[in-house]
Amino acid sequence: MNAQKLHKQLLVKPGRPVVLDKLDPSHTFGWEKTDAVAKRLVENTARIAELQLRLFAENKRALLIILQGMDASGKDGTVRHVMSGLNPASCQVTSFKVPTDEEIRHDYLWRVHHVVPARGEIGVFNRSHYEDVLVVRVRQLVPKEIWKRRYDQINDFEQMLTENGVTILKFFLHIDKAEQRDRLRARLVDPAKNWKITRSDLDVRRQWEAYQRAYDEALSRCSTKWAPWFVVPANKKWFRNLAVSEIVRAKLEELHPQFPKPLFDLTKIRIV
């Protein structure tokens, strides 16, 4: 397995424009769905859990994982698969919905900042402040003069977080319109999935192109050295899970969290 290569292949290089239409959502970079890949995924989950414990014990730094993508792109599935080994005591998943009355009365980062993971924690955002340059832009929920300033504001906000011990990884789960059609249809026919279908899914699907262009700009302008975006081909769920888990694992290994040294001489202690 060459995690470093995958990292490089999926990374949006800072300053390099992204055109999603040119990126194949079914691409697997030569990987195949083999037993070895399934085994690797299990290993990654276990390794991520081990490193989570160290991060928690070290109690100095945090990891924030941001998931974005169109409806049915697999944000929930990614949380379920890749984060399945995590201890919920030091991991928090936050799903960002239509802002509440109270949230909308504040600036758009207000609801985000106070759920950023604390030292020792891993936080996962299912949608995020990026909605404020995506749905807000496409549906013109605020004037253009307001949202167009947000790209820089988001970069500054994320830089401030990283300078204060929060490592940020951002994943865009890239599916195409045909894959979304199949997944939405499955939600219509499967009683266990009916609850996932909303009217807004259908409106959003109609505005597919506008969303893709909004994503192009968000990914192009907000992939930074301190908070990179990765475009993950997500038509194939196994590849999506593999890619996200490889990158999360590699980042945690790079952080190399350490158990703190005991504060006193343990050899002098007798437990009676």
**Could you list the residues that contact Mg ion (CB under 5 A)?**
71
CA distance 10 to 230: 5
Nearer Cβ to ligand AMP (182/203): 203
Name the residue among 252, 234, 230 with its Cα closest to residue 6: 230
- C-alpha angle 161/41/92, rounded to 5°? 35
Q: Which residues bind ligand AMP (CB under 6 A)?
A: 71, 95-99, 127, 131-132, 135-136, 200
Rounded to the nearest whole angstrom, what is the least distance from the CB of residue 75 to ligand AMP in the complex?
7
97 binds, among ligand AMP, Mg ion, none (CB under 5 to 8 A by kind): ligand AMP
Cβ proximity of 174 and 229 under 8 Å: no
Reading phi first (left if > 0) and then psi (alpha if -120 to 50, else beta), residue 133 is in alpha
Rounded to the nearest whole angstrom, what is the least distance from the CB of residue 249 to ligand AMP in the complex?
26
Nearer Cβ to ligand AMP (150/249): 150
Rounded to the nearest whole angstrom, what is the least distance from the CB of residue 202 to Mg ion in the complex?
11
64 binds, among ligand AMP, Mg ion, none (CB under 5 to 8 A by kind): none
176 binds, among ligand AMP, Mg ion, none (CB under 5 to 8 A by kind): none
Cβ proximity of 129 and 154 under 8 Å: yes
124, β-bridge pairs:
65, 93
CA distance 211 to 222: 16
Rounded to the nearest whole angstrom, what is the least distance from the CB of residue 60 to ligand AMP in the complex?
31
Rounded to the nearest whole angstrom, what is the least distance from the CB of residue 139 to ligand AMP in the complex?
7
Nearer Cβ to ligand AMP (71/121): 71
